[in-house]
């Protein structure tokens, strides 16, 4: 399975996020939900963002779409979509991009679809918002076409049905149809299959892949499921406590992981292969509170190797730096040699990082 680097059409990545910071001021203190995250996604590529709850992955995606309430959230950094700078753009203009150039698939299709309107009407509305000159009939035709495209049988009949008449998988397909109705170049899927059964999940993941081949869109897939990421992502970003801790190609991050948190995640996932009787190796402790993030490396209280380099993990925030291979970035204070040794002696044989 050799993946060629995506064709560079000379314009650079479609989405570029640089030093993104999102803060919420709450009664209990400032929540630094995203704290300096940078990444980029090219057309036709899929970036998987992985992390546990509270790691900032959903906040990142909402920031890209400009869906945070400006009164409550403070956003800084750069978000450039197709060459346009989004941070600080007036709501009016973001709205013009949202749904047309970038679209989102939410986790729970039942709460994301309006129960009161037919599914088709909601999809047609998404089309007409960005095609004001399109007539009712044209919008309907387009919506039926999209329903068919995402594999819903009898799309003409399904158009006039309500969300409750759809099964879970069908609803998620309808959501995807709605997201794709304006041919967006950037698609953000936030846990698109978490609420679905595995056989339906497989259908939806296949569908996303087929559609990506067809439309050459850039996809961000947000998930806590490392298995899903391993199947569909080209690149992976691992987040912890609002920061990126590891970033690289899917091969690099899942096959040759270098950050202790990624090691921990991979060894805690039960797998269908390997020794079923071996105990899983969980990460001790709990994910941190974003109000009171541990000093230095946010992972240090749970890290088995935090003591290997004096006090640095407790005092300095590690920078995301390149290790070994090109494009493989890791934020960890462990000296290169020590990390290589730990990886070779303790990590490579156990768990899934074989």
Site residues (vs another protein, CB under 8 A): 1, 52-53, 167-170, 197-203, 205-206, 209, 224-228, 230-232, 250-251, 254-255, 264-277, 279-284, 286-287, 352, 354
Q: Of all helices (H) and strands (E), which one includes residue 240?
A: strand 235-240
Closest CA to 254 of 282, 232, 276: 232
Closest CA to 19 of 213, 170, 205, 243: 243
Nearest distance in Å: CB 219, another protein: 14
Nearest distance in Å: CB 178, another protein: 19
Give the residue with the Cβ less far from another protein, 23 or 302: 302
Nearest distance in Å: CB 20, another protein: 23
Give the residue with the Cβ less far from another protein, 120 or 260: 260
Sheet with 29-41, side-by-side order of all strands = 29-41, 15-26, 73-81, 84-85
For 164, list phi and psi in degrees, rounded to 5: -70, -15
Sheet with 235-240, side-by-side order of all strands = 102-105, 186-190, 218-223, 46-50, 235-240, 243-249, 329-330, 321-322
Beta strands 46-50 and 15-26, pairing class: unpaired
Give the residue with the Cβ less far from another protein, 268 or 309: 268
Give the residue with the Cβ less far from another protein, 210 or 316: 210
Give the residue with the Cβ less far from another protein, 77 or 151: 151
Q: How far apart are CA 107 and CA 251, in angstroms?
A: 26
Q: How far apart are CA 296 and CA 301, in angstroms?
A: 10
Give the residue with the Cβ less far from another protein, 43 or 173: 173
Give the residue with the Cβ less far from another protein, 29 or 135: 29
Q: How far apart are CA 103 and CA 248, in angstroms?
A: 24
Nearest distance in Å: CB 170, another protein: 7
Cβ-Cβ contacts under 8 Å for 318 (sequence gap 6 or more): 296, 297, 331, 332, 333
Nearest distance in Å: CB 249, another protein: 10
In angstroms, what CA-CA distances link 37 with 84, 208, 331? 18, 25, 12
Q: How far apart are CA 209 and CA 226, in angstroms?
A: 17
Nearest distance in Å: CB 232, another protein: 7
Nearest distance in Å: CB 80, another protein: 30
The one-character DSSP state at 101 is T
Which tokens hold the place of 79? Answer: 């978000």
Nearest distance in Å: CB 57, another protein: 12
Nearest distance in Å: CB 11, another protein: 27
Which tokens hold the place of 172? Answer: 């998620």
């Amino acid at each position: 399975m050799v993946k060629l680097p995506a064709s560079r059409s000379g314009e650079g990545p479609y989405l570029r996020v640089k030093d993104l910071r999102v803060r919420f001021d709450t009664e209990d203190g400032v929540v630094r939900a995203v704290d300096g995250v940078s990444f980029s996604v090219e057309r036709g590529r899929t970036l998987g963002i992985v992390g546990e709850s509270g790691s900032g992955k959903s906040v990142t995606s909402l920031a890209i779409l400009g869906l945070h309430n400006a009164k409550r959230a403070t956003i800084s950094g750069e978000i450039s979509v197709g060459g346009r700078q989004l941070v600080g753009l007036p709501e009016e203009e973001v709205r013009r991009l949202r749904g047309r150039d970038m679209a989102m698939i939410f986790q729970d299709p039942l709460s994301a679809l309006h129960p009161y309107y037919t599914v088709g009407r909601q999809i047609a509305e998404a089309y007409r918002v960005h095609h004001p000159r399109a007539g009712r009939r044209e919008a309907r035709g387009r919506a039926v076409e999209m329903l068919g495209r995402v594999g819903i049988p009898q799309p003409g009949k399904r158009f006039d049905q309500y969300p409750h008449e759809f099964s879970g998988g069908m609803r998620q397909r309808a959501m995807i149809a709605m997201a794709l109705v304006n041919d967006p170049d950037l698609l953000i899927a936030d846990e698109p299959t978490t609420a679905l059964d595995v056989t339906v999940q497989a259908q939806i993941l296949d569908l996303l892949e087929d559609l990506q081949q067809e439309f050459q869109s850039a996809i961000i897939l947000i998930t806590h499921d490392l298995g899903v990421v391993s199947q569909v992502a080209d690149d992976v970003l691992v987040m912890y406590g609002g920061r990126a801790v590891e970033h690289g190609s899917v091969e690099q991050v899942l096959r040759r992981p270098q950050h202790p948190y990624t090691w921990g995640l991979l060894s805690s996932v039960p797998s269908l292969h390997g020794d079923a009787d071996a105990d899983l190796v969980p990460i001790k402790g709990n994910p941190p509170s974003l109000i009171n993030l541990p000093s230095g490396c946010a992972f240090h209280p749970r890290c088995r190797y935090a003591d290997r380099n004096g006090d640095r993990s407790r005092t300095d925030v590690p920078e995301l730096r390149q290790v070994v291979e090109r494009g493989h970035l890791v934020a960890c204070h462990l000296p290169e040699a020590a990390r290589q040794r730990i990886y070779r002696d303790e990590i490579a044989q156990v768990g899934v990082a074989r």
